[in-house]
Structure 1
């Protein structure tokens, strides 16, 4: 059995997720793979999740924070440079949940931090979570991913994530979550990676091959670039969302407007509207023109532009609608 540990110098969440996904595809029965990295500000969502529901895309877009959809199921999590990510991949007859628990406990022994590891492999300090974990076990392989909160602001989690669709609401974040640095001396990412890799080697007792992945330099791996560009795409991060209905409502100087948009796979499929009667013709044409467009701010410009010639008498109203919708839709 061989042990390979990869360290990424990149903080691009799409790049690092592409590394993780490619390593998972390369798994074989003779190799244990570990991958350590951190991401710049981003929201990482599960394969089957809806970003418009679990986080706040409009706010994220305004602050240049990317949403990145994983290739695995699980919950949404806000990340920044105060987090450290660990992935472990290996044949499940060798890489077991018991082994992973030993690796996690061993990581914190040199720091004299007393942690408990739950049955679902969450790390707990004083009964509060310092991690968010995903575990997948197939017939042949085990895939483990955990994000450790090193010095995370719970206010940022509350700011960017949508508690309405979360297991945790904003009020009990502080009762449920904590960060490593709240319990020991300040700890940096590279130092934590050192303790993690030492614990992996000590627990597994295997010769190790260490590889540093240079900042944003694409590895010469089959499928890596294809995966990376998919992870960067709107079609993947938004277009893979389950169907939903978005309700929007506002008051203009010229009247009240209410919209209900059916969105399927990130594309507008139907629009219901309600407004003052003199604008029914304009809004009816807008509702028809919108069908087939992606549910994003860029589409709004195209939709409204298509109506300017036929509804030039309502130029000001259409411009107001356009500005409002671009502000509301991520």
Structure 2
């Protein structure tokens, strides 16, 4: 699946129509940050804390310590709070700061399909103009490219135990003494039986109104090449989109600076790359 940040434009981050054709789910999370591709080779970690205890660096250091303890992999945290190995990104960060609680989550690229990742985050050749948050492209690396023994189940366990052996108020390794004070960690099942109301939340966050309809107002401009006797000449198509619906459509004729409004049944319809 492709997951975009709360304030992003999905059409500026990926080709939404192509994702649907390929059966790749598009989701919008409630936190900020950029677009990410998720598959079974990408682990997502979320740290829930009271607002006053929110500390990205603390959380990310737990991950970097787990990587070194388990596989002797040396990684760094850069100025964007990405975890990198030799300037290639293995983890990106996003957060939601509320009251009284906050959460910070990060991805960890273990063995993600980099070909699918790259193909999924390519938008159509059009100009999108909006106030939406744009992703910052970065070179990436899988952990298996550094150590072929890395796998997601072991990574999950390594991060979990590093969390348990880290003191609650300071980034200190409490070792086996700290571990003995804990009750371990438990894998949970995100079902209605375990978490009543989760299906209603799932339906809300997978709805068109949330994924597409929450997109900030934007303008998309495309160039259309004329065929036949006018081959080589181009029109400029301009479409205003509000809440995911096309509100104004206009064209700019060749050798003209004027935009001409177009009356069409497409007004009021949902925007996508194919219409």
Give the alignment's TM-score, normalised by structure 1. 0.64
**1:82–1:152 CA contact under 8 A, matched in 2:** yes
- State the SS of the aligned residue for 1:271: strand
Cα distance in 2 for residues equivalent to 1:201 and 1:96? 17
**Residue in structure 1 matched with residue 274 of structure 2 by the alignment:** 328
Alignment of 1:182-221 (within 5 A): 182-204=145-167, 205=178, 206-213=182-189, 217-221=191-195
**Residue in structure 1 matched with residue 77 of structure 2 by the alignment:** 117
Cα distance in 1 for residues equivalent to 2:5 and 2:235? 34
CA separation of 1:67 and 1:201: change in aligned 2, threshold 3 A: same
Structure 1 unaligned regions, length at least 5: 1-41, 276-282, 297-326
**1:102–1:203 CA contact under 8 A, matched in 2:** no
Alignment of 1:247-326 (within 5 A): 247-248=221-222, 249-251=224-226, 259-273=237-251, 287-296=263-272
Cα distance in 1 for residues equivalent to 2:62 and 2:165? 8
C-alpha displacement of 1:257: 7.1
CA separation of 1:230 and 1:136: change in aligned 2, threshold 3 A: closer
**2:160–2:185 CA contact under 8 A, matched in 1:** no
The alignment's C-alpha RMSD in Å is 3.0
Cα distance in 2 for residues equivalent to 1:251 and 1:63? 30
C-alpha displacement of 1:154: 3.7
**Residue in structure 2 matched with residue 79 of structure 1 by the alignment:** 38
**2:74–2:85 CA contact under 8 A, matched in 1:** yes
- State the SS of the aligned residue for 2:238: strand
C-alpha displacement of 1:118: 3.5
Structure 1 residue runs of 4 or more that deviate by more than 6 Å after TM superposition: 253-257
CA separation of 1:273 and 1:122: change in aligned 2, threshold 3 A: closer
Between 125-134 and 287-296, the greater mean CA deviation after superposition = 287-296
**2:31–2:95 CA contact under 8 A, matched in 1:** no
Structure 2 unaligned regions, length at least 5: 128-133, 168-177, 254-260
**Residue in structure 2 matched with residue 278 of structure 1 by the alignment:** none
Cα distance in 2 for residues equivalent to 1:242 and 1:148? 29
